[in-house]
A and B are shown apart, each in its own frame.
Chain A
Amino acid sequence: MTIVVYAAICLGLAIFIIGCVGRAVQYAKLPIHLRWEVYPVPHEEPSRVAHGGSYFEDSDWWTKPRHRNLGGELRVMIPEILFLKGLWEFNRRLWLPSFLFHFGLYLLIGTAVLVGIGSGLPLLVPSLAGGNLWIALAALYKITGYAGAILSVVGALLLLLRRATDQDLKNYTKPADFFNLLFFIVAFAVVAAGYVLRPSGSAGIGDVARGLFHFDAKVAVDGLFGTGLVLASALVAYIPFTHMAHFIAKYFTYHLVRWDDQPNVRGGSIEARVAQYLTYRPTWSAAHVGADGKKTWVDVATTNPTQEVRK
């Protein structure tokens, strides 16, 4: 079981990272699109953010310096990421289950980070091994771990209940949506139960992490706990290939679509990239487009279809 658990954790993390990077690269490599921002755009000047204004409110705006208001973005991003502010404002009924679920996940991710630090740091700084650091971290990660498991399982159960009972969601709920939530519930519940019910002397989460870092096959992992860890690892590997990878999408949808107000300037990088796209050869079939697979976008855009018809 020990080797299976180690392999599952390594494989799960590796697939997760590769999947996330692959997905991010897939989106990043797409052409920059035409501007499609929605206001408010929080990196605007603070005086404008309150009413959702843009630099277009200035006369001769192209002659004025552009402000970068990172603080404004953070003021939106942090409450959105941590507390799901958008749902709180616009869909209050969904907020509680979703917040419990997501905040529980954050606590579990925090737990994994704390366990990783506690187990990995002594490899780099041997003097920390067996010291007070581990005792302190262990106390902390037990709190975050239990709280995270409880919150996320309760949140997932509430979300599952909503999916099953809300008629408004009927058209938009697929079998995979139930499976995904059940997967979370089962994986986290088995990990938690396995941890709590494991026989004395068998490995806890810290022991597993330390064993993993030392490739120590002698660490005794209990069957139920080990099963939970394998399930959790499979879940982690599965996420990037579902719509649950919206944490990746949100970077693009917020920063590169909703808030992308970067103007095109003569001789700038946007112009250079667009110049390349304008050489693409579209194949749209409608007669007025006049695309034949040979004409470029420049040809299409500079053709007047009404004059073409007259010829």
Chain B
Amino acid sequence: MKRHIDLREMSQTKRDPLTHLENEDLMPLPTPLDSPAKDHAWTPLSQTAKNKYECGLDDTCAITVPQPKTPEEEKQLVAKFLSGLEKLFTKENNWTFLQPLLLTMEHCTGCQTCAEACHIFEASGGNELYRPTFRSEVLRRLYFKFVDGGGLLSAWQHGDIQLNWPLVARLAELSYRCNLCRRCAQTCPIGCDNGLVGHELRKLFSQEMGINSKECHDSGSMLQLKVGSSTGMNAEVVKDNISFIDEDTSEKSGIEFRTPWDVEGADVLLIHNAGEIMAWPENPGAFGLILTMAGINWTMSSEIAGYDSINYGLWYDDAQFARVAIKHAQAAQKLKVKKIVLGECGHAHKALSVIADRVLTGELNIPRESGMTLLREIVMNGKIKFDPSRNDFPVTLHDPCNMVRLMGVVEPQREVLHKLCPKFREMEPHGVDNYCCGGGSGFAIMSGNNFQDWRFHVSGRKKLQQIFDAFSDCIGPETPKYLCAPCSNCKGQFRDMLAYYDLWEQNRILYGGLVELIVNAMVDVKPGFIEWEWH
């Protein structure tokens, strides 16, 4: 691995990647994954991908930017990038984040405190390309040179940079080597925010050049706006699926219930990440059962996007973000519900509760609440009887960044686990100091080319280490263990990463949500709601 990568190499015209990662270079993992030689070999990028797309950054290719066919096309793309760069620093185009962006551009001292906090930088073995300040420094130099006036004095003060197509293409890819978890921002003594830089770069590429992750855009926010959900489910399909889930859950639990749809004036509009309905049906089933047993007056909505809390625009595009957030609020407005409750999805929590807060004005400003607080209230108020001994297996909790560090919902889920799971143990660090699962900012759904190799080997590596450490006293396969991840995207990452390392077969580590643990401990439910099977 090349240890030092000079910033100027971003502009190099050779298409060779700037870095190459080997297992030996990465942060060591605990036993039994401690041998780099036994670790999976990286799948090389196909020659087709190399010939077709811009793959000049590292060993992978996340967003498949097509290679321009002519020098003229390159020039046009660079001009377009420059135009987007200017727009990023105008209030008309970017009032949403202009103030924090300018502060980050103008005041970083380059102290590298952020690097110590970044799980990707650490897991990569300190690869310069993944240092949080690397991409920020590129944008910073571009800002001072092309937006703030530039000139010799500026270059002396802020550094110079050569703008060309190779740099633009690499920067686009590099904006997708950050989970946007903002652990770096938490530690910056000045308050600069490299996570924001990643977000703003993605925005520039998407809103000006139409360059984005296909999974987040074409089959993400666009599909959601078209049919109602990024899973592709329209209202009829989702109702059918939930109906099956209700039947299954009723049969499995021994308690009959049906999900109410489109109930006007309900106290609670529950919005799940619709991925749960497709991939982890036990989660919406358990949720429905709990709300019904608790006597909550709740409903789901069949309005467009009203049954899918996903809002991928959060990660790359303000326009798409606002459109989906408005759809969510309109669904609640139409039903005249008292509040929206968000299911187990971290980014949906932050998107609708925090980021959309200043977009949803007037009648659209309907109260939004975390599912964690409602579940805590239900578990603690004594209406439902629990038997914690049913959860007598080791449980640890993953803190979804969007819900915890970026929204401050820390304790409710812990109070539930402390009450219902006698063998609950924390990861270290945890709470607002947690590490990202490695699937944040869309990575969990991105698997084009060999990108999965990168997100398992690099972005998920620190979390993998934490999971092993949390279960170090019972890591063998004789003890089934439960990794509680109250977030669909995190679960997507865990599903793929645990399977990649075969940790269910080898170590009996199962992942799942919080509601499954709650239902598993309910006295009135038939024992064994959690099925110790890989899914």
List the interface of chain A (C-beta within 8 A of B): 27, 30-41, 44, 48, 51-62, 80, 84, 86-87, 89-91, 94, 98, 167-177, 242-243, 245-246, 249-250, 252-254, 256-258, 261, 263-266, 270-271, 274-275, 277-278, 280-291, 297, 300-307
Contacts and interface: CB of A to CB of B under 8 A. Distances in A.
A155 to B, nearest CB: 13
Residue of A80, A169, A265, A289 with most chain B CB atoms under a 10 A cut-off: A289
Contact of B410 (A35, A52, A270, A285): A52
B405 A35 contact: no
Of all A-B residue pairs in the complex, the 9 with the closest CB atoms, nearest first, are: A253-B191, A54-B408, A172-B110, A52-B432, A306-B226, A301-B322, A91-B113, A31-B95, A86-B189
B411 A288 contact: no
A246 B405 contact: no
B369 A61 contact: yes
A60 B187 contact: no
B455 to A, nearest CB: 23
Given A61-B373, A172-B137, A301-B323, 13 more contacts: A38-B186, A52-B405, A87-B189, A90-B189, A173-B110, A245-B107, A246-B107, A249-B107, A252-B103, A257-B193, A280-B92, A285-B208, A288-B320
A252 B411 CA distance: 28
Nearest to A62: B367
Given A90-B113, A263-B357, A301-B326, A57 B92 contact: no
Contacts of B104: 253
B319 A284 contact: yes
B133 interface: yes
Contacts of B157: 174-176, 242
Interface in B386-418: 404-412
Contacts, number: 277
B97 interface: yes
A51 B95 contact: no
A94 B99 contact: no
A31 B196 contact: no
A264 B103 CA distance: 23
Nearest to A248: B107
A48 B362 CA distance: 30
B339 A60 contact: yes
B106 A86 contact: no
A211 B312 CA distance: 65
A90 B187 contact: yes
A54 B407 contact: yes
B107 A33 contact: no
B260 to A, nearest CB: 20
A33 B185 contact: no
B64 to A, nearest CB: 16
B209 interface: yes
A38 B405 contact: yes
24 contacts: A35-B354, A36-B97, A38-B182, A52-B404, A54-B407, A54-B409, A57-B372, A57-B412, A60-B339, A80-B189, A87-B111, A172-B108, A174-B157, A250-B190, A253-B100, A257-B191, A274-B359, A280-B93, A284-B84, A288-B210, A301-B319, A301-B359, A305-B222, A306-B225
